Amino acid sequence: MSSTLFIHHSHFDQHSVPPSHPESPLRSLAVETRLRQTGLWQDLDIKLAYPVSKELFKLVHKPGYIDQLYQISPNKGMILADPDTPLTFDTLSATEEAAGSGIQAIDQVVSGEYRNAFCAIRPPGHHALPNKTMGFCFVNNIALAAEHALTKPGINKVLIFDFDVHQGNGTIEIFKNRDDVMVISSFQHPYFPYSHFNVKADNIINIPIEAETASTQYRRLVESTFIKATSNFKPDLILLSAGFDAHTDDPMGELDLIEDDYSWLTKLSMSLANDYSQGRIVSMLEGGYNLEALANSAHAHIQTLLNK
Ligand SMILES: [Zn+2]
């Protein structure tokens, strides 16, 4: 049995945004194809996501927002939930499974069945606010995973590290001023979503990074803050909002990371999880829009999670 769980579902690909949209069904496919090509697929335990009820979404979202999302969901074709975020007839079933992946991963990592897990999900979640969609996101998958983890015996504090090129503003909004969740977000600044930069809360740590910053400087900016915050907070579990759009080839971000930086970030997260969290990590896909860079970066991340 593998120490790393990989959760996917073909329904993620059925969230069929228009062909010109960057958050494409080809993304999750690219990640899986690369894992198969290199043989890493054989080393993982692969499971299908199961869906969760929309009632569960109300743990982190306003009930009226979730009910409205289901009311406006089209029976065929698509509508725009906001200018960036197409809602198609099969989006909400993909969303139920994307969120369900996190619940499943938490259950199996906290029980000790797996050391860590990666959820190759779409749609992503970290921009989703309590009461609205934003930036391709409908339901905040990582926030829901954190809330679910906190219902488990022995999980009293959860740390979320978000390394997407965009700030995890939805996650920050959901958890600001909580003493059982810490959110660290490294992101290009100034940049979308242009909000929550000035949130003053003890449990929120922003690491703003200038455009065109590359590996050495990025690592310098992240390392000491991540180590210090984690050693002060002493989380029982580390969650990763794993966006790979800070890669130098990504068409949306303007940071200059390479695959090796994702191995480094993963190693650092694992080392801190070993020190404070019994090694427990659950990682959930967020952004990453150059298919080649996404596939290679996610591969580097997962290979490191496997200790390969
Ligand atoms: Zn992003």
d(CA 245, ligand 1 centre) in Å:
6
d(CA 286, ligand 1 centre) in Å:
7
d(CA 166, ligand 1 centre) in Å:
4
How do the domains of the chain map onto residue ranges?
Answer: 4-305
Which amino acid, residue 54?
K
d(CA 223, ligand 1 centre) in Å:
20
Domain covering 4-305 in this structure, CATH number: 3.40.800.20
d(CA 289, ligand 1 centre) in Å:
8
Q: Is the pTM of this model over 0.75?
A: yes
d(CA 153, ligand 1 centre) in Å:
33
d(CA 288, ligand 1 centre) in Å:
7
pLDDT tens across the length of the chain (308 residues): 899 999 999 888 888 898 899 999 999 999 999 999 999 999 999 999 999 999 999 999 999 999 999 999 999 999 999 999 999 999 999 999 999 999 999 999 999 999 999 999 999 999 999 999 999 999 999 999 999 999 999 999 999 999 999 999 999 999 999 999 999 999 999 999 999 888 989 999 999 999 999 999 999 999 999 999 999 999 999 999 999 999 999 999 999 999 999 999 999 999 999 999 999 999 999 999 999 999 999 999 999 999 97
